[in-house]
Chain A
Amino acid sequence: AQSVAQPEDQVNVAEGNPLTVKCTYSVSGNPYLFWYVQYPNRGLQFLLKYITGDNLVKGSYGFEAEFNKSQTSFHLKKPSALVSDSALYFCAVRDDNAGNMLTFGGGTRLMVKP
């Protein structure tokens, strides 16, 4: 079975500081990993994904994530946070060895304060 955990309900960071939103996963095969962002009263928007290859993945709006197989993690990062980055972030995983549906984490609310 596949699962994903976002251990922080909320992350607070000051504008201009680096941010990290954590995600860990569990799969039996190889993972496909995704980050999505949701602004208030909007649908989820795709940020980035890891399928194979380079462990550091760059995505939209200056975000990046690092795939760490030994720690089964896929943390989302940004060197310098903007107030406009404040939103709800979802990590998702699909096990290439089991079915074709994504499993989503519970979401982490990012609050960037000026």
Chain B
Amino acid sequence: SQTIHQWPATLVQPVGSPLSLECTVEGTSNPNLYWYRQAAGRGLQLLFYSVGIGQISSEVPQNLSASRPQDRQFILSSKKLLLSDSGFYLCAGTVSTGQNTGELFFGEGSRLTVL
């Protein structure tokens, strides 16, 4: 089965510090990968998606960046965190069913608190 591992699960960082959240995928190859942010237990905001190694599309301009150094690795980074970067970050990948339905499977999330 396809699974996503995210770490760290929780992170408390001071304003202005760097960030690195990592997502790795098991059980599939060449998935599309996504980073979402969820504020206050509500809706999902798509931040970045990647269709392959080194290919990143940004949906929202911000001080975050993403990289995909390997097929099954997707990293969310920041050089200097802002208070507004606090939230719950979810990594997701496309389910490989051969139908290209767009169905996603999600990691367990990383909760970031910026103080």
State which of A39-47, A53-61, A62-70 sits at the interface with chain B.
Answer: A39-47
Q: Contact: B101 with A90, CB < 8 Å?
A: no
Q: Contact: A49 with B101, CB < 8 Å?
A: yes
- B44 CB-CB contact with A under 8 Å: yes
* A10-65 contacts to B (CB < 8 Å): 32, 34, 36, 40-46, 49, 51
**B31 nearest CB across to chain A (Å):** 12
Interface size class of A (residues with CB under 8 A): 20 to 34
CA distance A43 to B35 in the complex (A): 12
Q: Which residue of B lies closest to A51 (CB)?
A: B101
**A67 nearest CB across to chain B (Å):** 14
Q: Contact: A43 with B101, CB < 8 Å?
A: no
Chain A residues packing against B (C-beta within 8 Å):
32, 34, 36, 40-46, 49, 51, 88, 90, 92, 94, 100-102, 104-107, 109
